[in-house]
Chains A and B, each alone.
Chain A
Amino acid sequence: MRILAYIFRRLLAAIPVLVGVSILTFLISHAIPGDPARLIVGPKASKEAVESIRKEHGLDKPLPVQYVRYMAGLVTGDLGQSIRNHRPVTRDLADYFPATFELTLASLVLCLAVGIPLGILAAVRRNRLADHVARVVSVVGVSTPVFWLGLMLLLLFYRHLSWLPGSGRLDVTSAPPADITGLYVLDALLAGDWALLREAASHLILPAFCLSYVYLAVITRIVRSSMIAVLGQDYIVTARANGLSAARVVLKHAFKNSLIPTVTITGLSLGELLGGAILTETIFAWPGMGKYVVDSVNSLDFPAIMGFTLVASAAYVAINLGVDVIYAFLNPRIRY
């Protein structure tokens, strides 16, 4: 199977990127700050504590030696210790990960569910109403500060209309569903607890919408432009000349081809979703990694910030690896 060889090649290619990512995070945490030891123990620690950490972490050694140490830690899953709660950062991130995953996944689904049809419509009805709507949506989308949008949504739907809850994953009095996937909506569904499902879903709506809005712009734009490019291809003329219905020509013949560039760009712009999650979670008090990192900023918890940075970028690399695999399935010219 050539496809396996292809996936294997992509996996191999991801390794140097991941090493590069680790080097850059290492440099940010060890070379940029004036005193990395001070950052590890926090501003309130005593001079003696700083010195002992410096010794303990080998921060007085040359950078390459420090990097080897750092990598050794990474390989064993050690991202250092949080200043705030003295817990391993890895543990904290593992606790907060499911919430972020649920939020970004819901946003992604929302984006694709709205962005793809809107992009197709805009391409097919070029310069007509749908196209203008799509253009406005995408320009406003890429220009909106996510954190401000979140606040405006809260103001409208929570404060004034009281339609939706404004913070957290559940009401404060509710207990989370039995942990199966870590996604409350899914877990509540699996447990068959309809009331909890409703509750989890209603908490998810505002943050997911807020986060998806910016990304929606990206999806709509790329679907539109790749559809326009594909609709001008000879095989589309062939399909029409063969008497296929307009829906079939657009949704089967054009769409699958337009997915090839769309998938690539979608993957690349998923970084915006991860970045946006930081702000969205903060606004909606969504207990995920994004809120965790902003809380860490506020308490100057540097190890936690760097741990998040590394995990977020590793996740980003992994997502793009997944995207490459989807790409291979879509594009037969790669598969064989």
Chain B
Amino acid sequence: MADTPLLDIQGLTVSFETYQGRARVLEGASLTVNRGEIMGLVGETGCGKSVLSRAILRIIPSPPGHIDGGRILFEGTDLLALPRKAMRKLRGERISMIFQEPMSSLNPVFTVGNQMREVVRAHRKASRAEANAVCLEMLSAVRLPEPEAVLSAYPHELSGGMRQRVMIAMELTCRPSLLLADEPTTALDVTVQGQILAILAELAAAENLTILFVTHDMGVVAQLCHRVAVMYAGQVVEVADVASLFARPTHPYTRGLIASIPGRATGGELTAIPGSVPSPIDPPPGCRFHTRCTQAVTACRRAVPEMIRVAPDHSVACHLCPGGRP
């Protein structure tokens, strides 16, 4: 078992029905996440990273969304083949998720305690008092002062940072092994952001929690994650440990991303990647990045590049990289 990764996504394809046609938001995306690590998932807005995290829990709104193919192996079981009921049991208990907007992710008409206890009792038999105890413990674990007061408060009475901590506490009440975090700090102030990241890192270490951290912020990745997967237009294009990704970004897109981090730009100039993300309804053939890639060659327009291992923990999907077929 030690060798099976906690999460192994293979060739995941997800599409959305739109007025203009069928949008392939994920096209054969693959990713593995090992036990106990914090995996960053980065990419521009619209690259499919949020859809990927939601597909794991099978909470993509359908219609219009539909998982067309691929496998999502969680502890060796394919989640996509799981019966509905078993899948529901998994949610919130083995795999949890926190979202970007702490303002709107909690139900405004119920107290925090009502919502937290409900999660606890949805997954195990517990009296109200027992559930309360679990909730209080978790609220303390995310370092919320006065957990009792928080428990009886309505979401609108808490600040954004407090709500996000409540969310984290709520999602960890069942001690899941995987936490999906979909840009959980994007909507917060920088100082609060730092606190939340610290709490996540601490909990991950203390509880042996695996986190898939979705973000578009390379700075956050550098600060928190052990490994990173870079997504572009519905595909994972590069996966590496953090150190090696920042030291030797291999995919032209990754290089562009890193170069566009303020303060890191080479020659003191901010480089933005030219062009914009292609439409998922009519994606370009071959490598999806070739329309924006300055080094694109004929092969890039023809064939979809495969993932190649370029270093022990560093893979990339690019025709141009050493070992690829230019």
Contact = CB atoms under 8 A, between A and B. Distances in A.
Interaction A to B: yes
Interface of A: 233-235, 237-245, 248, 253, 256-257, 260, 330-333, 336
Interface in B135-170: 154, 156-157, 167, 170
A332 B156 contact: yes
B96 A241 contact: yes
Given A332-B154, A332-B156, A240 B59 contact: yes
A241 B91 contact: yes
Centre residue among B54, B88, B93, B123 by max chain A CB count within 10 A: B88
A258 to B, nearest CB: 10
A81 to B, nearest CB: 51
A173 B18 CA distance: 66
A306 B93 CA distance: 65
B97 interface: yes
B57 interface: yes
A242 B154 CA distance: 19
Interface string B49-71: 00000100101000000000000
A244 B118 contact: yes
Contacts of A330: 109
B304 interface: no
A242 B92 contact: yes
Contacts of A333: 108, 154, 156
10 contacts: A234-B105, A238-B167, A241-B59, A241-B97, A243-B92, A244-B88, A244-B118, A244-B122, A332-B109, A336-B154
Interface of B: 54, 57, 59, 88-93, 96-97, 99, 101, 104-110, 118-119, 122-123, 154, 156-157, 167, 170-171
A237 B92 CA distance: 12
Contacts of A245: 88, 122
Contacts of B54: 237
Contacts of B118: 242, 244, 248
Nearest to B171: A242
B238 to A, nearest CB: 28
Contacts of B157: 336
Given A234-B101, A242-B96, A332 B107 contact: no
B92 A241 contact: yes
Contacts of A260: 109
A253 B118 CA distance: 11
Contacts, number: 75
Contacts of A243: 88-93, 119, 122-123
B176 to A, nearest CB: 10
B107 A257 contact: yes
A247 B89 CA distance: 14
Contact of A253 (B59, B89, B107): B107
Nearest to A246: B88
Given A256-B109, A331-B109, A233 B104 contact: yes
Contacts of A248: 118, 122
A260 B108 CA distance: 11
Contacts of A235: 104-108
A249 B109 CA distance: 13
A242 B91 contact: yes
Contacts of A238: 97, 99, 105-107, 167
A234 B164 CA distance: 13
Contacts of B91: 240-243
B155 to A, nearest CB: 9
Nearest to B111: A332
Contacts of A237: 54, 59, 99, 105
Contacts of B156: 332-333
B106 A332 contact: no
A89 to B, nearest CB: 44
- The 5 lowest CB-CB distance pairs between A and B, nearest first, are A243-B91, A243-B92, A242-B92, A234-B104, A235-B107
Contacts of B59: 237, 240-241
A120 to B, nearest CB: 16
A244 B85 CA distance: 10
B86 to A, nearest CB: 11
Nearest to A241: B97
Contact of B119 (A233, A242, A256, A331): A242
Given A237-B99, A336-B154, 12 more contacts: A234-B104, A235-B104, A235-B106, A237-B59, A238-B97, A243-B93, A243-B122, A256-B110, A260-B109, A332-B109, A333-B108, A333-B156
A234 B187 CA distance: 14
A332 B99 contact: no
A332 B154 CA distance: 7
B107 A239 contact: yes
A221 B57 CA distance: 32
Nearest to B84: A246
Nearest to A242: B92
A253 B110 CA distance: 8
Contact of B108 (A240, A244, A332): A332
Nearest to A245: B88
Contacts of A233: 104
A256 B111 CA distance: 13
Contacts of B104: 233-235
A60 to B, nearest CB: 58
B241 to A, nearest CB: 29
Nearest to B109: A256
A245 B119 CA distance: 11
Given A241-B97, A243-B89, A245-B88, A257 B122 contact: no
